[in-house]
Amino acid sequence: MKFFADTAEIDDIKELAATGLLDGVTTNPSLIAKSGRDFMEVTKEICGIVDGPVSAEVVALDHAGMMREAEVLRKIADNVCIKVPLTIEGLKTCKALTADGTMVNVTLCFSANQALLAAKAGATFVSPFVGRHDDNGFDGMDLISDIRLIYDNYAFETEILVASIRHGVHVLQAAKIGADVMTAPPAVIKGLFKHVLTEKGIEGFLADWAKTGQSI
């Protein structure tokens, strides 16, 4: 499963990229606003840090407007992935962009039927929001399972990008289901490295090593 960081914070992206385990980055207007930086500037900087897809979201709601904004965004770098909402206008834009060879991430997916439409529109990625789905009384992972089944039934090439991940259990469940990608805040990704027994084991090894009086 590919790991994307869901952030626009440059320091966090650099830290994760240095591990060699980061496959891409997703951003949205809210994350850009939180960073307090210029949208085009921060997107270009992120694209220079990671080799994989960097999702940059349009803000227009109509097809013509989305196409105009996409034209600007995809000039930032070759690894920009245009992010569009799962609406009729968004899928029209997705179809047009993917036909032209541009990567597209269809976002704000909350049903398997929506995911089916995104795949038919040729989306590179579809982003079902599991955390927000859970918040509204549904099981976000049931949604991922349904999408995986449908995509496998018809050999759709659209990748399932699990979004709105809140904790490590979401990551584990998504991996067990067979999601292609997960995107999570840096804190969640860094939390995957941690386990109390790993930390205790290191402490024990270091204590024993100190007793030997040796050095490497």
Name the residue ranges covered by the structural domains of the chain: 2-212
pLDDT number for residue 177: 98
Report d(CA 147, CA 81) in Å as an integer.
21
Looking at 2, 14, 44, 83, which residue is catalytic? 83
Express each pLDDT in 22-75 by its tens digit.
999 999 888 888 888 899 999 999 999 999 999 999 999 999 999 999 999 999
Joined together, the tokens standing for residue 196 give 């109390």
| Cβ-based neighbour number of residue 185 at 10 Å | 16
Instruction: With both helix axes pointing from N to C terminus, report the angle between 140-154 and 168-177 in degrees, rounded to the nearest 10.
Output: 20
Q: In which band, very low, low, confident or very high, does the pLDDT at 186 lie, cut at 50, 70 and 90?
A: very high
**pTM of the model as a whole:** 0.94
Report d(CA 54, CA 48) in Å as an integer.
10
Joined together, the tokens standing for residue 1 give 């499963």
Asked about 83 being catalytic, the answer comes back as yes
Asked if 2 and 180 count as a contact pair (C-beta separation under 8 A), the reply is yes
pLDDT at residue 142 is higher than 90: yes
Joined together, the tokens standing for residue 30 give 């809210």
Helix, strand, coil share of the chain (percent; to 5): 50, 20, 30
pLDDT number for residue 30: 87
pLDDT at residue 175 is higher than 90: yes
Return the CATH fold of 2-212. TIM Barrel (3.20.20)
Asked if 101 and 128 count as a contact pair (C-beta separation under 8 A), the reply is no
> Token pair 């609406």 is at which residue?
87
